[in-house]
């Protein structure tokens, strides 16, 4: 039953990613939407891929944690994109937010309770990778306005 719910949850999450992509396209245009959403998508996909590569069987709770990665990863990209002239403080705030969240969720990744461990693993890896991707995909105008 949980395998069936995992598939359903994965399709629903993909739908949520699509709806959020459309809403971001309304604000940033198609290319800007992709640049804002790609860190969250990439962070989640890479986190699950790394766990699968390490031999961790992906379950429903790994998939549900992708919603948290979506929310936090896209926030980081939006904050960095909207910095406009204040890149330093925005970058510091985002890096500190990622550090504290990755530390707290990373500690959950060591839990002996399987569903808590699953959420912590995906979340810690996903948001750290989302930060790296968000930094790499910042618009050129943000990085050159110093």
- Residue predicted with more confidence, 4 or 120: 120
Instruction: Measure the CA–CA gap between 116 and 42, rounded to whole angstroms.
Output: 22
Condensed to tens digits (0 to 9), the pLDDT of residues 69-93 reads 998 988 888 888 887 777 888 889 9
pTM (predicted TM-score): 0.81
The predicted pLDDT at position 74 comes to 87
**Averaged confidence pLDDT in the chain:** 86
Q: Residues 97, 18: contact at Cβ < 8 Å?
A: no
Q: What is the DSSP letter of 145?
A: -
Q: Residues 79, 36: contact at Cβ < 8 Å?
A: no
The predicted pLDDT at position 52 comes to 93
- The two three-digit tokens of residue 130, written as one number: 């989302």
């Amino acid at each position: 039953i949980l395998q069936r719910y995992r598939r359903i949850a994965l399709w629903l999450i993909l739908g949520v990613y699509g709806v959020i992509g459309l809403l971001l396209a309304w604000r940033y245009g198609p290319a800007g939407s992709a640049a804002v959403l790609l860190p969250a998508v990439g962070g989640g996909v890479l986190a699950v891929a790394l766990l699968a590569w390490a031999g961790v069987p992906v379950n429903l709770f790994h998939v549900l944690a992708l919603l948290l990665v979506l929310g936090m990863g896209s926030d980081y990209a939006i904050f960095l994109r909207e910095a406009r002239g204040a890149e330093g403080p925005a970058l510091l705030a985002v890096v500190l937010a990622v550090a504290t969240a990755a530390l707290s969720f990373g500690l959950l990744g060591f839990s002996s309770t399987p569903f808590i461990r699953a959420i912590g693993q995906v979340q810690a890896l996903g948001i750290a990778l989302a930060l790296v991707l968000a930094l790499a995909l910042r618009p050129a105008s943000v990085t050159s306005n110093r």
